Amino acid sequence: MHSERNHQEATVPTLYYRPGACALAPHILLHWVGVEHVAKRAERNDHELLAINPSGAVPAFRTADGHGLTQAAAIMQHIARRAGREDLLGADDPTAQDEVAVWLSFFTGDFHPSFWPYFAPRMYISGSVEEQYPAVKRAGIKLVQSGLAKIDAHLAGRETFVGGSKTVVDAYSVPMLRWAKNIDGVDFTAYANAARLYETIISDPGVVAAMKHQGIEP
Ligand SMILES: N[C@@H](CCC(=O)N[C@@H](CS)C(=O)NCC(=O)O)C(=O)O
């Protein structure tokens, strides 16, 4: 059994998150591996978060032995390995391990950034040119649709991203598919395989617990 605390404690690993951000993925993983942990909501100026990640981005993670980690992919690999849960990284199958690496890289390196033009169009325009925001957002939506098409094709006939059981990739897919489902301009139901996986995984006890802790709905 594990427990989730809201206060800092030495040797208990701490995940810093903002509700609904990509830190939801390692938060789900902490529940899947069943390790005692603190999940702390941290705004950009939180001094504990800034001590690990001066940019204020989440996720950030304070490990059980006290060092700070950034980058969701690194944090998730650390959590799975430290818990002895190699099964969540492809077990001892080299092909599955490669596929986990490919999909984790795709999600963190390609798909996650494709949302930024939609969420923060001002990042892509110099000066304050608000009338251009809709065009930038449309460009972002196209990127999201392209990524979703790739995800959807891969998931045809599959219940998980890699092999026959869940891996860290499935955890990471939760915040990404949630974003895709909830933004205007994307018909998420058109991606039937992705929608099916999302509808199934949102009932997973670890997903339910992490979302509840963060105060968010699917
Ligand atoms: N490459 C980083 C991306 C982290 C990231 O972009 N996090 C977002 C939330 S999903 C963030 O905190 N952005 C900065 C901000 O909101 O101020 C990772 O995979 O961890």
Cα(91) to centroid(ligand 1), Å:
28
Q: Which domains does the chain have, with CATH numbers?
A: 4-87+208-214 (3.40.30.10), 89-204 (1.20.1050.10)
Cα(115) to centroid(ligand 1), Å:
11
pLDDT at site 5: 53
Strand-pairing partners, residue 70, are 60
pLDDT at site 8: 46
pLDDT at site 4: 57
User: Is 5 within 8 Å of 12 (Cβ atoms)?
Assistant: yes
pLDDT at site 129: 84
> How many CB atoms lie under 10 A from the CB of residue 13?
23
User: Is 25 within 8 Å of 179 (Cβ atoms)?
Assistant: no
pTM to 2 decimals? 0.94
Cα(22) to centroid(ligand 1), Å:
7
Task: Establish whether residue 20 lines the binding site of ligand 1, counting it when its CB lies within 6 angstroms of any ligand atom.
Answer: no
Residues of the chain with pLDDT below 50 are 1, 3, 6-9
Task: Establish whether residue 22 lines the binding site of ligand 1, counting it when its CB lies within 6 angstroms of any ligand atom.
Answer: yes
Pick from 58, 172, 216 the residue to mutate for probing ligand 1's pocket: most ligand atoms within 8 Å of its CB. Answer: 58
Task: Establish whether residue 52 lines the binding site of ligand 1, counting it when its CB lies within 6 angstroms of any ligand atom.
Answer: no
Torsion sign (Cα): 136, 193, 27, 205: positive
Task: Establish whether residue 49 lines the binding site of ligand 1, counting it when its CB lies within 6 angstroms of any ligand atom.
Answer: no
